[in-house]
Amino acid sequence: MALNLDSKIPSGPIEQKWQKAKFEMKLVNPANKRKYNVIVVGSGLAGGAAAASLGELGYNVKCFCFQDSPRRAHSIAAQGGINAAKNYQNDGDSVYRLFYDTVKGGDFRAREANVYRLAEVSVDIIDQCVAQGVPFAREYGGVLANRSFGGAQVSRTFYARGQTGQQLLLGCYQALERQVDAGRVKMLYRYEMLELVVIDGRARGIITRNMVTGEIESHVADAVVLGTGGYGNVFYLSTNAKGSNATAIWRAYKKGAGFANPCYTQIHPTCIPQSGDYQSKLTLMSESLRNDGRIWVPTKKADTRDPNTIPETERDYYLERRYPAFGNLCPRDIASRAAKVACDEGYGVGPGGRGVYLDFSESINRLGRNVIEERYGNLFEIYERITGDDPYKMPMRIYPAVHYTMGGLWVDYQLQSTIPGLFVLGEANFSDHGANRLGASALMQGLADGYFVIPYTMGNYLAGVKPGGVDATHQEFKAAKEAVDARTKKFLSIKGKKTVDDFHRELGKVMWEYCGMARNAAGLDHAIARIPELRAEFWENVNVPGSGAELNQSLERAGRVADFLELGELLCRDARIREESCGGHFREEYQTEDGEAKRDDVNFCHAAVWEYLGDNKVPARNTEPLEFEHVHLAQRNYK
């Protein structure tokens, strides 16, 4: 059975589509809203904004997060900023230009209508956040300040020092807690969603585990929203939080939700390099640093001199050389690959030659240390804490790392998945960033989806269904709960010889080696064969200590890693079949003479949407053709 991939893009000129869609949507009258129950899973910018906004409208909302508070969601770690087409700088920005930059930045693999809407509502996000008290950076005259980000030639990024994600999330969290106090939202923290329940073709609830007591519970609703983030931790080492996981979207996929473009993963160019095998995660150094930092490697291979003693003539500022128009601010996929190329050719610095310099000395000389400190002080502190080096005196050493996943559950223009009543927001969906996300666009998308899209599209959906009608005694709830119980028992009964992290690390190595920054057919074939072996070994030889009826962090990780062991294979399959290079998906076989990504628009100008057909069966690949009426297909040029 093929998936129904009707994107439901409204007709008419692109500038009027969202207005038209909003007008055409059905409404739920205020007195009826309280009769509907909505579940929101995840409390980051997408989930938290959705829960708060739906609560404000009067729906009964239950919001779940696995952390001890909604304020912990990983949106909090976003550093650099949020884009919006305000054109406060009078430098030529517009909704159309933000739309254009985002489609082009995504290497022509996003849906135009969604991206246009994103650019359109971006301006409202800034207004909303300012009103909530988000302390954005300001100029002396009291107006909002902007900085530049990769892939754009205008300054449209709003920021709160190096803690923009934190401040936006706290604004969202405060709005959410206000609804908790008002009784409109019930917040369930330390809860993990372990199953989606679908009844008569509609998403009707979830099964959760109370992470303190271990109790498995059923939650019934009229609609379910997932704002559970991306799946970057399939690589084990990434800039994601340790708890970030794909279980919610993976469970939904296995219940019938299409999974789109899993191979589109973003490798962020500026992260602190790995220091050892015990490494638990990688730390990002914000892209905003590329405003004032210059990236270089020595012109001599394996140069171990102190970087401060290397003269200008013996430095290769390779981004400025290769991409003079955008220089250090070229998009992430391009900057990452350029760093890999430099290191592969032997010019890398630091242990193992896996690093390049990000140097602030020129900016410090030009602007003064105090200006650099005001702009990036906390980032410099993070760097010094982790590495023990002072970046005011010594160039940072950086290397690319897995950061964000553009792929995710397929959604239509209403942000509804292929399962009616299941909506997917933020990084968890696939819709807006194509094959590469531009910096400062993740915060924009999370909040756009949560504050300004779902409040409309949820109403449109609920207006067409009667509230209630099923409860937790329904056969589907019982079956889903039993499946979760059985799985939990299975994890605890194996009592093998390896830890959960042993398997996760091993999976991460396979993913990074064969499906990382550069991919090829032979490597992917190897990974597609290797991952099922690893999965089989996991189910025979993992050791999960403790019991299910208590707080058990090993058990929590086991469930997440079990799902990553399945998702990793799908990611490699998608990368194998997409025989082109685009954005973050770089296939070595498909590149231009000067090493740039070479798309194949004849055969691959579509979203690949995977359909689950059963365990150990090859999933079906469906496609949604992408049409570009406004931004004409071309090889991206940042030169």
Query: What is the nearest approach in angstroms of other proteins to the Cβ of residue 367?
Result: 18
CA-based nearest residue to 382, from 283, 237, 277: 283
Q: Which of 52, 193, 207, 524 binds other proteins (CB under 8 A)?
A: 52
Q: What one-letter code names the amino acid at 412?
A: D
Q: Which of residues 369-398 bind other proteins (CB under 8 A)?
A: 381-382, 385-386, 388
Q: Which of 4, 16, 19, 69 binds other proteins (CB under 8 A)?
A: 69
Options 30-38, 197-205, 538-546, 560-568: segment touching other proteins (CB under 8 A): 538-546
Q: Which of residues 221-260 bind other proteins (CB under 8 A)?
A: 241-243
Query: What is the nearest approach in angstroms of other proteins to the Cβ of residue 471?
Result: 28
Which residue lies nearer to other proteins by CB, 144 or 199?
144
Distance of CA 434 to the CA centre of its chain: 12
Kindly give the residue spans of alpha helices, DSSP state H, lying in 345-469.
Answer: 361-367, 369-387, 442-447, 454-462
Which residue lies nearer to other proteins by CB, 238 or 441?
238
Distance of CA 419 to the CA centre of its chain: 21
Q: Which of residues 299-358 bind other proteins (CB under 8 A)?
A: none
Query: What is the nearest approach in angstroms of other proteins to the Cβ of residue 530?
Result: 23
Q: Which of residues 109-138 bind other proteins (CB under 8 A)?
A: 124, 126-133, 135-138
Q: Which of 17, 33, 71, 294 binds other proteins (CB under 8 A)?
A: 71
Query: What is the nearest approach in angstroms of other proteins to the Cβ of residue 94?
Result: 16
Query: What is the nearest approach in angstroms of other proteins to the Cβ of residue 17?
Result: 19
Which residue lies nearer to other proteins by CB, 23 or 140?
140
What tokens were used for 461? 């959906």
- 3-class SS of residue 73: coil
Query: What is the nearest approach in angstroms of other proteins to the Cβ of residue 434?
Result: 27
- Residue 298 backbone dihedrals phi, psi, to 5 degrees: -65, 150
Q: Which of 202, 332, 397, 599 is catalytic?
A: 332
425 touches other proteins by CB under 8 A: no
Q: Which of 35, 147, 281, 598 binds other proteins (CB under 8 A)?
A: 281
181 touches other proteins by CB under 8 A: yes
Q: Is 332 a catalytic residue?
A: yes
Q: Which of residues 446-465 bind other proteins (CB under 8 A)?
A: 451-452, 455
In this structure, is the dihedral angle defined by the CA atoms of residues 238, 240, 241 and 243, taken in order, positive or negative? Answer: negative
Q: Which of 7, 40, 41, 53 binds other proteins (CB under 8 A)?
A: 53
Distance of CA 373 to the CA centre of its chain: 29
Query: What is the nearest approach in angstroms of other proteins to the Cβ of residue 378?
Result: 8
Question: SS3 sequence, 485-550?
Answer: HHHHHHHHHHCCCECHHHHHHHHHHHHHHHHCCCECHHHHHHHHHHHHHHHHHHHHHECCCCCCCC
Which residue lies nearer to other proteins by CB, 154 or 197?
154
Q: Which of 9, 25, 180, 465 binds other proteins (CB under 8 A)?
A: 180
- 3-class SS of residue 404: strand
Q: Which of 27, 325, 522, 551 binds other proteins (CB under 8 A)?
A: 551
Kindly give the residue spans of alpha helices, DSSP state H, lying in 399-462.
Answer: 442-447, 454-462
Number of residues that bind other proteins (CB under 8 A): 81
Q: Which of 4, 15, 200, 212 binds other proteins (CB under 8 A)?
A: 212
Which residue lies nearer to other proteins by CB, 272 or 607?
272
Which residue lies nearer to other proteins by CB, 78 or 608?
78
Query: What is the nearest approach in angstroms of other proteins to the Cβ of residue 81?
Result: 14
In this structure, is the dihedral angle defined by the CA atoms of residues 461, 462, 465 and 469, taken in order, positive or negative? Answer: positive
Query: What is the nearest approach in angstroms of other proteins to the Cβ of residue 386?
Result: 7
Distance of CA 505 to the CA centre of its chain: 21
Contact between residue 50 and residue 225 where contact means Cβ atoms under 8 Å apart: yes
Options 49-57, 352-360, 419-427, 521-529: segment touching other proteins (CB under 8 A): 49-57
Residue with token string 């589109």: 264
189 touches other proteins by CB under 8 A: yes
Which residue lies nearer to other proteins by CB, 15 or 374?
374
Contact between residue 71 and residue 170 where contact means Cβ atoms under 8 Å apart: yes
Question: SS3 sequence, 562-579?
Answer: HHHHHHHHHHHHHHHHCC
- Give the gyration radius of the chain's Cα atoms: 24
Q: Which of residues 136-165 bind other proteins (CB under 8 A)?
A: 136-144, 160-161, 163, 165
* β-strand pairing of 37-41 with 60-65: parallel
What residues form DSSP beta bridges with 199? 202
30 touches other proteins by CB under 8 A: no
Residue 589 per-residue DSSP state: T
Query: What is the nearest approach in angstroms of other proteins to the Cβ of residue 175?
Result: 6
Options 45-53, 107-115, 295-303, 606-614: segment touching other proteins (CB under 8 A): 45-53
Query: What is the nearest approach in angstroms of other proteins to the Cβ of residue 2?
Result: 37
167 touches other proteins by CB under 8 A: yes
Kindly give the residue spans of alpha helices, DSSP state H, lying in 161-244.
Answer: 164-181
25 touches other proteins by CB under 8 A: no
Q: What one-letter code names the amino acid at 463?
A: A
Q: Which of 45, 103, 118, 187 binds other proteins (CB under 8 A)?
A: 187
Using CB atoms within 10 Å of the CB of residue 50, give its burial: 0 to 12 exposed, 13 to 18 middle, 19+ buried. Answer: buried
Neighbours of 39 (CB within 10 A): 27
Query: What is the C-alpha end-to-end distance of the chain, expressed in Å?
Result: 45
Which residue lies nearer to other proteins by CB, 132 or 155?
132
19 touches other proteins by CB under 8 A: no
- 3-class SS of residue 137: coil
Q: What one-letter code names the amino acid at 293?
A: G
CA-based nearest residue to 395, from 305, 487, 485: 305
Mention every residue, 6+ apart, whose C-beta is less than 8 A from residue 37. Answer: 59, 60, 61, 62, 220, 221, 222, 467, 468
- 3-class SS of residue 208: strand
CA-based nearest residue to 50, from 428, 487, 430: 428
Mention every residue, 6+ apart, whose C-beta is less than 8 A from residue 368. Answer: none
Which residue lies nearer to other proteins by CB, 77 or 620?
77
Q: Which of 33, 72, 219, 535 binds other proteins (CB under 8 A)?
A: 72
Which residue lies nearer to other proteins by CB, 430 or 564?
564
What tokens were used for 23? 């007008």
Q: Which of residues 485-524 bind other proteins (CB under 8 A)?
A: 497, 499, 501-502
**Which are the catalytic amino acids?**
332
